[in-house]
Chains A and B, each alone.
Chain A
Amino acid sequence: MAMKFSKKNFTDRTKENISDDFMRQAVASAQERLHGRRLDAAEELGSWEEWRSHGEEIRQHVLENLDFYLHQLSENVAERGGHVFFAKTAEEASDYVRDVIKKKDGKKVVKSKSMVTEEINLNAVLEEAGCEVIETDLGEYILQVDDHDPPSHIVAPALHKNREQIREVFEKKLDYHKTSKPEELALHAREKLRQEFLDADIGITGCNFAIAETGSISLVTNEGNARLVSALPKTQITVMGMERVVPSFEEFEVLVSLLTRSAVGQKLTSYVTALTGTRDEGDVDGPEEFHLVIVDNGRSEILGTEFQSVLQCIRCAACVNVCPVYRHIGGHSYGSIYSGPIGAVLSPLLGGYDDFKELPFASTLCGACTDACPVKIPLHELLHTHRRIIVEEEGRSPISERLAMKAFGIGAASNPLYSMGSKVASTAMKPLTKNDRISKGPGPLKDWTDLREFPAVGNTRFRDWFYDQKGGK
């Protein structure tokens, strides 16, 4: 699945998802549960703001010195027998992975969850080359079995599905005949997937953080699938976005603590695994061959711009879990594998405004995302920066809106003009007003009154009353 997965426009996607009651209920209850868990986890620490500052400082330092840390990382991976491939584009990355697998004559590939492999459209490339690719994260597996339904959440990709829908998919595709109890569904997946792990020639993982000093990559899961993917197949290929590096284990542990608390409210997830190179001499499990693919795919163009801070992201989805817009439209409305506030900032940067220019406007700038971010990315400010660029530099807003805003610039700067306008408004609105309310507004007001009553312009403005009562001053 490439980053963009829908040909429909934003409005149609949104309408469609808003009418999906199952999805909305699933998202709302997940948000509420995670919100509480995250707050509890933060409160427990007692000095959450200090943790956030620490996380921010580490991430900023890494981005400022990214070339150095990637150099160090690659040297240390190679020293431990791993092969490092720097990929400028999505195609270069997925082609490299395909060629490695071809060379190993690999047929069966097991994967643990990775957003960047979605971004580079890896599964499609490998399947075209004749490989069987099996997603092993339970959420990803559900989506794959359901004819490649796109992910709707960067941590819980199948969040939009309820248990009954999952049961139906399993029944249709996996010969499943039990109930919709999550335990039974998960057990079925476990049984189906266990043999696949044992049979696979190739394991593909993402990478939560790479540790430059030791050449290690780390995988953070609850299910243990990433451990299986990296322990059993003879060849392991890890794909990482180039920004996901940290200096050493000292910073790694801080960011992991922030990640697991922010993502799921856990102090640590069940499995945090740090893997270094190929298996050591004498090891029986672990890969004999290891490849690390470091992907740019548009990220370097963000460096040095006012959007640089978005690369601080550690993909915890805390912003998604508090977003009141995501809550109602779900992940699929964004049309990108990256949804929610982080997706609304990142997707236009990686995928361009042609496809994603609506996303920065699908926000009330309420700031919940910025508040939740464990590494202090000013998400709502970045959404605003997108807006400014879209209307001022790109000139992509409708002409009518541009004219209106120009008029605003003139009217709102001049008291005489405003005074005249607001006085006239009261008279002009009279015919539309009933019981101090306007229910069917003209022109731009219609969009408001389609949904809500609009208050009538008062006969006496505050300023008139004030002068009348207190005398001019």
Chain B
Amino acid sequence: MGGTIQNRDAFLATIATQLGREPKMKVEKPIWKHQPQRTVLADASLDELLGVLRVQCEQIHTDIVETTKESLPVALDEVVKAYGGGPLSLWKDGRFGEYGLSDLLETKWPSEQIEVNSWDPSLGEKNIELAEQANIGITFSDMTLAESGTVVLFSSADKGRSVSLLPTHYIALIPKSTLVPRITQASDMIREKLNNGEQVPSCINFITGPSNSADIEMNLVIGVHGPVKATYMVIEDC
């Protein structure tokens, strides 16, 4: 299912002519003289990274909850209720089970009339509708960037883009082991995937707190098109 390419040759030939040379077919990326990004938080331990994340969360108007694997169901239940309960929109993600949340999702919440909708590719566009009507979207973080307070989400058939976007509130579940210094490590992870012959997913989201805008008098307004509030739940897992 390859796409098409139009008008390329003349366009690129013009560029080469302007640059005073023949078109280039091969370029080796240089070893960059400066790489300051490699030194940021380079030696920080996981606990130190967590400390950085904690401070950063204040700047990005995001609540942070720290919990253990054992207390996660109770802690998550509290946050969900503080946000006003369901309907909920979730990724279809094995990690919910691994982190002991099956009971909460499948039994407790339904019994309390909290609607839980896990992403289901077979339902097609219905998923988007459900996410749009959801009060809270919940996903895991695939990688967590301490410096900026960012959760990195890789999309897939089971992990729709809409879950972290359309609901009014957003909760990111962050296994502590996913903490890394900064976005540099995310680019390293992508490099590793490429080296392993994998493709990058169609959508990678770097999400840093709730949506906001400073378009009115450069005054920060929290909550514009995406979620208006966000909570990060850091789970002790290592």
Contacts and interface: CB of A to CB of B under 8 A. Distances in A.
Contacts of B16: 67
B5 A78 contact: yes
Nearest to B216: A182
B201 A268 contact: no
A68 B25 contact: yes
B36 A284 contact: no
Given A57-B34, A66-B19, A198-B132, A29 B211 contact: no
B197 interface: no
A65 to B, nearest CB: 5
Contacts of B155: 280, 283, 286
A74 interface: yes
B44 interface: no
A304 B20 contact: yes
A47 B34 CA distance: 10
Interface in A1-55: 26, 29-30, 33-34, 45, 47, 50-51, 53-54
Interface residues of A, number: 111
Given A271-B211, A273-B205, A65 B121 contact: no
Most chain-B CB neighbours within 10 Å: which of A66, A87, A231, A304?
A: A231
Contacts of A230: 203
A262 interface: no
A256 B145 CA distance: 14
Say which size band chain B's interface belongs to: 35 or more
Contacts of B215: 137-139, 142, 156-158, 223
Given A57-B30, A77-B3, 8 more contacts: A34-B218, A71-B8, A182-B221, A231-B162, A268-B208, A283-B157, A286-B155, A300-B14
Interface of A: 26, 29-30, 33-34, 45, 47, 50-51, 53-54, 57-58, 61, 64-71, 74-75, 77-88, 92, 136-139, 142, 156-159, 162-163, 166, 182-183, 185-187, 189-190, 193-194, 197-198, 213-214, 216, 222-225, 227-228, 230-232, 242, 247-250, 252-254, 256-257, 264, 266-286, 290, 294, 296, 300-301, 303-304
Interface of B: 1-8, 10-16, 18-20, 23-27, 29-30, 32-37, 39-40, 56, 60, 119, 121, 123-125, 127-128, 132, 145, 147-150, 155-157, 160-162, 165, 182-184, 186-187, 190-191, 194, 199-219, 221, 223-227
